[in-house]
Every structure is written in structure tokens, then in C-alpha cells.
């Protein structure tokens, strides 16, 4: 697992670089990021009440980077769909610290699905 400062750098780079996002997908690093969101038992009560600042930053960086990857890279949708990424991040939807990031990720995911469906329907 990367230290928080490196995770935040990954988050920032995914916001600025399509190439960086593509490399994350190509090297399967997105799988590690999703796994980091599941390897602990993140109960809703614990997420809302007893997260340390470092854990908040850890989760923000992961969810934010995943959001950027889905937003920027078309091919990421299939990879995220295979990994059931929407199910993985579902538990963060009601957490007081993350609603904006959660909904941003979800809307990017849905938007990308709709674009693909629209393009396929026009063929």
C-alpha cells in the first residue's frame, strides 16, 4: 500500500493526465486500488464516526483517483464493470466524509455507460 502523500499524488495525476490513467489500467493498478477499498471491514458506523484523518485521506485519494480514471478513459469502464467497482464503492455513499466523491464517481460511471449505449445504438 502506498503512503498517503503518494496516493494523493496519484489522485492529482489522474486528474491531469490521460496517459497516467491509461497506464494505471494497463498495469492493473486500479485492481489494487479497488482491493484497498475492500480489504478492511469499512462498516458504515465506523466510517462516519471513527476515521482518523489519515484514513479519510486514504479513502478520498482512492475514490478520487478512480473517479478521474473513469471520467477520462473510455476503456476503463469495461475494466471497472468486470471488477464490480460500483458494488465496491457502494458502501461509501452515505458516509458523511465522502458523498461528493462517491456521487462523482457514480455519475462518471453512469455517464460513461450511457455514452457507450448511445454509440452502440447508433451502429
Looking at the predicted structure, is the pLDDT value of residue 45 above 60? no
Burial class (CB in 10 A: 0-12, 13-18, 19+), 24: buried
pLDDT per residue over 50-72, tens digit each?
677 777 788 888 888 888 898 88
When pLDDT is averaged across residues 19-33 and rounded to a whole number, the result is 93
Q: Scanning the structure block, which residue is given the C-alpha cell 486500488?
A: 33
What pTM was computed for the model? 0.74
C-alpha span between 58 and 67 (Å, rounded): 14
Determine the pLDDT at residue 23.
95
Determine the pLDDT at residue 116.
64
Segments making up each domain of the chain, as ranges: 4-122
Q: Is 84 left (phi over 0), alpha (psi -120 to 50) or beta?
A: left
CA 41 from centre of chain: 17
Amino acid at each position: 500500500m502506498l503512503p498517503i502523500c503518494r496516493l494523493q499524488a496519484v489522485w492529482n495525476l489522474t486528474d491531469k493526465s490521460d496517459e497516467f490513467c491509461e497506464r494505471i489500467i494497463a498495469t492493473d493498478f486500479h485492481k489494487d486500488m479497488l482491493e484497498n477499498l475492500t480489504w478492511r471491514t469499512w462498516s458504515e458506523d465506523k466510517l462516519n464516526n471513527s476515521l482518523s484523518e489519515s484514513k479519510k485521506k486514504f479513502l478520498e485519494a482512492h475514490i478520487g483517483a478512480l473517479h478521474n480514471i473513469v471520467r477520462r478513459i473510455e476503456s476503463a469502464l469495461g475494466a471497472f464493470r468486470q471488477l464490480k467497482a460500483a458494488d465496491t464503492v457502494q458502501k461509501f455513499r452515505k458516509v458523511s466524509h465522502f458523498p461528493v466523491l462517491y456521487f462523482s464517481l457514480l455519475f462518471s460511471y453512469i455517464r460513461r455507460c450511457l455514452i457507450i449505449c448511445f454509440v452502440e445504438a447508433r451502429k
